[in-house]
């Protein structure tokens, strides 16, 4: 949800003032974005949300007083409409997993550029989730390798997906990124993203990992042990 003037209202919680101020400037320079709250810890963020209307909060993973995970949990409880993107220097699947499990709508590395951050914010606000190809691939690889699952897609399984969606889901389950799938199927990246969003909508998944879990839980991926 955006404000009446069309701007997405953003809150930032980041204890490093240089990064916080820089991010504020970058976002305010993007048409349609407006930083309305910028604070140095999670408690000040929660306090600010009591009086300031916000569509999305960018929250640092590690902060004093109240860290990113603690702040995210409280936001989910008190301000469920506010989307949350967690920020960290650590581009690690364990951090991403922890963020999602505790109610974040997505995850960003502090190394991501302005274009990536812009895409993440719009995606989180419009679709309720954001995981980039790198993060999604880490998640899927972990699911496959930690459980020693060999994705063998069963297209004959009963499913609500159409034939085209089944093909895309099979490629997702085999750890292919959006661009790799688009190249393989001779389609645009936007077409693949639209199909993926529709598939998630059909099953109520919040992200691409939910699609893979759905495929596994519904017997669409054989959990064969890798020799």
pLDDT for position 92: 66
Give dist(CA 53, CA 108) in Å, integer: 22
pLDDT digit string, tens, across residues 12-38: 999 999 999 999 999 999 999 999 999
Average pLDDT on 89-105 reads 75
Instruction: Give the global pTM.
Output: 0.67
For 68, 70, 73, 173, 175, the CA distances from 64, given in Å and listed in that order, are: 9, 11, 16, 39, 37
Nearest Cα residue to 112 out of 97, 132, 93? 132
pLDDT band at 156 (very low <50, low <70, confident <90, very high): very low
pLDDT for position 111: 82
DSSP letters of 113-176? -HHHHHHHHHHHHHHS-B--HHHHHHHHHHHHHHTTEE--B-TTS--SS-HHHHHHHHHHHTT-
List domains and CATH numbers for the chain: 8-130 (3.40.50.2300), 137-225 (1.10.10.10)
pLDDT digit string, tens, across residues 192-201: 989 988 888 8
Residue 176 pLDDT more than 70? yes
């Amino acid at each position: 949800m955006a404000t009446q003037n069309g701007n997405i209202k953003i809150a930032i919680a980041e204890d490093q003032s240089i990064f916080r101020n820089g991010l504020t400037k970058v976002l305010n320079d993007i048409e349609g974005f407006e930083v309305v709250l910028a604070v140095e810890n999670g408690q000040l963020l929660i306090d600010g949300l009591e009086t300031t209307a916000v569509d999305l909060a960018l929250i640092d993973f590690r902060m004093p007083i109240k860290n990113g995970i603690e702040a995210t949990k409280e936001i989910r409880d008190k301000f469920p409409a506010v989307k949350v993107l967690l920020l960290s220097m650590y581009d690690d699947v364990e951090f991403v997993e922890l963020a999602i499990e505790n109610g974040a709508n997505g995850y960003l590395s502090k190394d991501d550029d302005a274009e990536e951050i812009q895409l993440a914010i719009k995606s989180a606000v419009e679709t309720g989730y954001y995981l980039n190809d790198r993060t999604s691939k880490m998640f899927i690889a972990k699911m496959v390798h930690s459980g020693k699952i060999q994705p063998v897609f069963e297209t004959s399984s009963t499913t609500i997906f159409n034939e085209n969606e089944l093909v895309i889901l099979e490629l997702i389950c085999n750890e292919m990124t959006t661009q790799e799938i688009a190249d393989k199927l001779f389609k645009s990246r936007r077409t693949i993203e639209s199909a993926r969003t529709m598939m998630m909508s059909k099953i109520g998944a919040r992200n691409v990992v939910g699609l893979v879990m759905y495929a596994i839980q519904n017997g669409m991926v054989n959990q064969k042990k890798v020799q």
